[in-house]
A and B are shown apart, each in its own frame.
Chain A
Amino acid sequence: MTAPFLVARNIAKRFGALTALADVDLEIRSGEVLALLGDNGAGKSTFIKILAGAHPPSDGELLIEGNAVAFSSPKDAAASGIATIFQELALSENLSIAENVFLGRELKRSIFGIPFLKRAEMRQRVDGLLQELDAHISDPEAPVGSLSGGQRQAVAICRALNLNARLVIMDEPTAALAVAETRKVLALTRRLAGRGCAVVLISHNISEVFEVADRIVVFRRGRKVAERLATETNHEEVVSLITGAHPDVRALEKTN
């Protein structure tokens, strides 16, 4: 087994008196799709926000390839190769696909010390990425506001790839999608892992998770309560882990 890309140790997050996350240990490996499951408020979103640099953890540490890292902003996380595709997609609807893919990291040439955009080159790069992903988007100049939900996911994935992301976090990528689009996004997810990316997927759809995930981690009430290989568990067990009906979870919750 390869060394994990990212290791989270004892991660905790408190908002005032509220403990959103406690004692989370997790390993994330390259080329693997890791699914995070759990009820609303189980701590999944808080956890990925910590990975994404949007929240600093209250406790614990993150190691990337064995080195401790501390993110003070999403930019730091991005610099370490972590890209997050949020549920509410952080895309600017008023900008074009190419502009969105490069937003915050534009290609530019300096003329008299003033940075000017290299629009043609950005457009070409995005065209290449869209074809590679087989995203069926012909015009990188189209405004993102005119795209369907699945196409927007593809743009967000392009953005992540363009940042040379080695860990892509996807927060419910299929939540608002029609069936055909969902299939495409799941295929994209597998293709990302196939390229050697580590993928963390948050989803509420358990059959979807079984379709793409290699490993499944269940969160409950701010704690990680289970970790299973997808091949070694089944739909029913995962549901019981999420709801807390599983004996392992009961035992755990009694001791805490």
Chain B
Amino acid sequence: MLVACLLAIAIFSVASPHYATPGNAVTVLRNSVELLLIGLGMTLLLAMGGIDVSIGIVMGLAAIAIGRILGADGSPYVALVAGPLVGALLGCVTAAVVVQGRVPAIVGTLGLLGVYRTAVFALLGGQWLSGLPSSLTDLLATTVLGIPVPALVIAVAYLTVWLALRRTPYGLHLLAIGNSEEKARLSGIPVIKVRFLTFVISGVLTGIAATFYVATYRNVEMSIGSTSALDAIAAVILGGTSILGGRCSLLGTVLGVLLLRILQNGLLLIGVPSLWQPVVTGVLIIGVLGFEAVSNRLPLTRFQRARA
């Protein structure tokens, strides 16, 4: 993965004179903030054998809430809480449909995607929220001990999730459910609780992503988050998390997000229209899954031969 990232950087550096500049590196990292947070939640969901294709629009709804608070000259501290709160609430809604309602995650969140998207249109009424005051931006565009706040928040989020995955029963339960929900249930794991909690965690992380989004761009447009779910799924499976569940890599997700953003940024700089970005993401997803299917098949036959 690291090799792939470096390779992509090398190629684009040669192809575009604007690529290998400090300014552009900052742009790539800046563009990765929201996806790193959403991708972290998606890593947990995929590792659990779940998925959430509505997650980008969840970020949109949280961003609208934050924007409304800022637009009404509300306290930036209230806005700070609003993002994770709305994210958590929508996470509960998703969990209610998918976990309690026993609707398969892909179908349930696809249904919610439709509902949420219309909600975004209705709430925005065809107009962008723009020209928001800079109070939230001032709060988050600072550094603590020389580290930018977004980097700090992301580091804390990844560290917390890593600890939860590797050092607490929750992590074991999540991976066991990802391996087989039925077996996990038979092992006495509180499957419903773990799944519910994971959708809520993903919602909270997405709410934090929305906070950074609004702080950075100071507007909320109609199409907000429309490619986030696709990007997140691509980055996470690029990073080695299994789409079938049971296996995940947090470092892989970080690298997957960076690689995706490096590719998108690089292609833009060499003159590929941004319209093509989802095509790149889509091809990456298909490519990774195709590769996984093929490489899974080969060792399996060898293994079977060894047993026979």
Contact = CB atoms under 8 A, between A and B. Distances in A.
Given A74-B186, A104-B187, A104-B189, A94 B168 contact: no
Contacts of A92: 175-176, 179-180, 183-184, 187, 246
A93 B179 CA distance: 7
Contacts of B175: 92, 94-95
A106 B172 contact: yes
Residue among B176, B182, B185, B189 with max Cβ neighbours from chain A (10 Å): B176
Contact of A74 (B173, B176, B188, B247): B188
B247 A108 contact: no
B239 interface: no
Given A94-B175, A94-B178, A116 B184 contact: no
Given A99-B172, A115-B168, A117-B172, A86 B186 contact: yes
Contacts of B180: 92
Contacts of A106: 169, 172
Most buried by A among B175, B182, B186, B189: B186
B176 A103 contact: yes
B172 A94 contact: no
Contacts of B189: 103-104
A118 to B, nearest CB: 10
B305 interface: no
B167 interface: yes
Contacts of B246: 92-94
A203 B182 CA distance: 23
Nearest to A145: B179
Interface residues of A, number: 25
Interface in A66-117: 73-75, 78, 84, 86, 88, 90-95, 99, 103-106, 108, 114-117
Interface residues of B, number: 20
A188 interface: no
A103 B179 contact: no
Given A116-B167, A117-B167, A90 B172 contact: no
Interface in B178-211: 178-180, 182-189
A117 B168 contact: yes
A95 B172 contact: yes
Given A75-B188, A95-B172, A90 B167 contact: no
A54 interface: yes
A105 B178 CA distance: 18
Contacts of A115: 168-169
Nearest to A99: B172
Contacts of A94: 175-176, 178-179, 246-247
Interface of A: 54, 73-75, 78, 84, 86, 88, 90-95, 99, 103-106, 108, 114-117, 119
Please name the 6 residue pairs, one residue from A and one from B, whose CB atoms are nearest each other, closest first: A104-B188, A90-B186, A94-B246, A90-B183, A92-B176, A75-B188
Given A90-B186, A95-B179, 16 more contacts: A74-B185, A75-B188, A84-B186, A86-B186, A90-B183, A92-B187, A93-B179, A94-B247, A95-B175, A99-B172, A103-B188, A108-B168, A114-B168, A115-B168, A116-B168, A119-B167
26 contacts: A73-B188, A74-B186, A75-B188, A78-B188, A90-B183, A92-B176, A92-B179, A92-B246, A94-B175, A94-B176, A94-B179, A94-B246, A95-B176, A99-B172, A103-B176, A103-B188, A103-B189, A106-B169, A108-B168, A108-B169, A114-B168, A115-B168, A116-B167, A116-B168, A117-B168, A117-B172
